[in-house]
Structure 1
Amino acid sequence: MPFSLAASVHSEIIIKKSRFIACVECMTDRHGATERVAALRAEHPGAVHVCWALLAGGQSAAVDDGEPSGTAGRPMLEVLRHQDLDGVLATVVRYWGGAKLGAGGLVRAYTDAVAQALLKADKVPLIRLKTLRCTLPYAFEGWLRRELEAVQAQHLQVQHGGQVEMSFALPQTQAEGFTARINEAGRGRIGWLKDD
């Protein structure tokens, strides 16, 4: 089961006078990650590199930001994978200390910076939600609302027309059993809509 983080975590390590400031935080897409990296560049104008790794399904990325290829972003990404995280961004801001670390030293530095931050992390299970939409007679609306409340589903939208149209989200693992129970109790009066 993949995990996310309850809150952002930080660490700082110094290797041969170079400062490596790491942050690991929740992030669901590449656009948000690039905005966060841009903010870090503005926050740390004296830094020589802002390397980052995003583990977020199909939007994952590993960026070395001028460090030798494969010495920063990819090792950071591997730390996130090893921790079974998803929807997480790791960034490391590097201030130059005057001494070259070599490829192996850089890999260790970036890996250690992220790993040290994750030692402080409170991991939470990542629960994937499924969005469902249905139509039902007005007489069934109160009943379905109580059923949704009982399983702690998230109400997303309700529209009133010829019938009530509801959309809601609940954990994927509960979706199939929930719809089967609603179909049976609704005696064929619940219509399920497919996403456009």
Structure 2
Amino acid sequence: MSVPSRLLPATIAAPVEHELVIRKSRFLTVVAPVASSEEADAVIAAAKKRHWDARHNCSAQVTGLLGDRARSSDDGEPSGTAGVPMLEVLRRRELTDVVAVVTRWFGGIKLGAGGLVRAYSSAVSETLDVAALVDRRVLQQVRVAADHADAGRFDNLLRDWVSRSGAVLGETSYGAAAEFEVWAPAGAVAGLQAEVSALSAGTVSAVDTGAERVIDVPR
């Protein structure tokens, strides 16, 4: 993986809903994490089926590791007043692998083009304000093998270290030794190696395997 982690858009941890009422029109928004444009389309289809009585189910989606695939739909609203403003909110928030669907029940009062743009933008923006964000980072694999008798000490050390280092714990396996897996930012590996060495008086090493992976890290 050659993409610097600072260039990777974030995503959200779980679906979230939010409702907004503007001049008697009801706007119900769902924003959901997705793994592909096909999953995003399925979320949109489900919203349309669920809210069959609504006049509009407008949508915007951004997918791909770099957020390089995007689509939007006004679903009957005047061109450019719904889907594109929604998409712009996702872009401004630097998100990917996410879909937003805003369902509108018309309240009898026309909002005008500018009012619709503000309404659909606000609907998505306010929903994202209550979403839990997840950062995408390119992390390196580090393995630590310790005697079973010392496994508890290293488990505590590693859990504490990842909590303050932007890293995540991977799998732990128990064979001839207790082997811990850590996914760490490249610039933090040396610090982990120093702490492991200090705890073991130099008898245990944190080995950088050279493997890299894009990992979702909750903020």
Same fold (TM over 0.5): yes
1:132 pairs with 121, 141, 145, which one?
141
Letter in 2 for 1:167: E
Q: Judge conservation of contact 2:193–2:206 (CA < 8 Å) in 1.
A: no
**1:176 — aligned with what?**
189
**Is the 2:59–2:99 contact (alpha carbons within 8 Å) kept by the matching residues of 1?**
yes
Does structure 2 conserve the Cα–Cα contact (< 8 Å) formed by 1:13 and 1:113?
no
User: What is the percent sequence identity of the aligned residues?
Assistant: 29
Q: 2:42 aligns with which of 21, 31, 35?
A: 35
For 2:160, give the aligned amino acid.
A
Q: CA deviation at 1:134?
A: 1.0
Contact 1:138 1:164 in 2 (8 A): yes
Q: Secondary structure at the match of 2:44?
A: helix
Q: What SS does structure 2 have at the residue aligned with 1:50?
A: strand
CA distance in 2, matches of 1:53, 1:184: 49
Between the aligned partners of 2:205 and 2:189, the Cα distance in structure 1 is: 18
Match of 1:49 in 2: 56
Deviation at 1:7, TM superposition (A): 7.8
In 2, Cα distance between equivalents of 1:25 and 1:173: 32
On the 8 A contact 1:5/1:122 being kept in 2, the answer is no
Equivalent AA in structure 2 for residue 42 of structure 1: K
Could you say which residue in structure 1 is the equivalent of 2:215?
none
CA 1:11–1:117: 2 relative to 1, 3 Å: farther
Where does the alignment leave 5 or more consecutive residues of structure 1 unmatched? none
Give the alignment's TM-score, normalised by structure 2.
0.60
The match for 1:12 is 20
Distance 2:13 2:181 in 1: 28
Displacement after TM superposition at 1:51 (Å): 1.8
Q: Does 1:167 align with 2:172?
A: no
Give the whole-Å Cα distance in 1 for the aligned partners of 2:46 and 2:95: 22
CA RMSD of aligned residues (A): 4.2
> What residue in structure 1 maps to residue 216 of structure 2?
none
Write the distance in 1 (CA, Å) between the matches of 2:183 and 2:205: 20
Paired positions, count:
190
- Give the 3-state SS of the residue equivalent to 1:12 in structure 2: strand
Look up the SS of the partner of 1:71 in the other structure: coil
User: Which secondary structure state, in structure 1, belongs to the residue aligned with residue 172 of structure 2?
Assistant: strand
CA distance in structure 2 between the partners assigned to 1:191 and 1:177 by the alignment: 10
Aligned-pair CA distance for 1:50: 1.9
Counterpart contact for 2:28–2:102, Cα < 8 Å: yes
Q: Which runs of 5+ in 2 are unaligned?
A: 1-5, 213-219
TM-superposed CA distance for 1:64, in Å, is 0.7
Deviation string 1:21-68 (CA, Å, 9 cap, x unpaired) is 232535253354333222211211123432222356534533215445
Distance (Å, rounded) in 2 between the aligned partners of 1:91 and 1:61: 14
1:77 aligned to which of 84, 87, 95? 87
Please list the CA deviations of residues 44-100 of structure 1 after superposition, one character each: whole Å capped at 9, or x if unmatched. 112343222235653453321544554322211222344x36365432113467898
The yes-or-no answer on 1:21 pairing with 2:22 is no
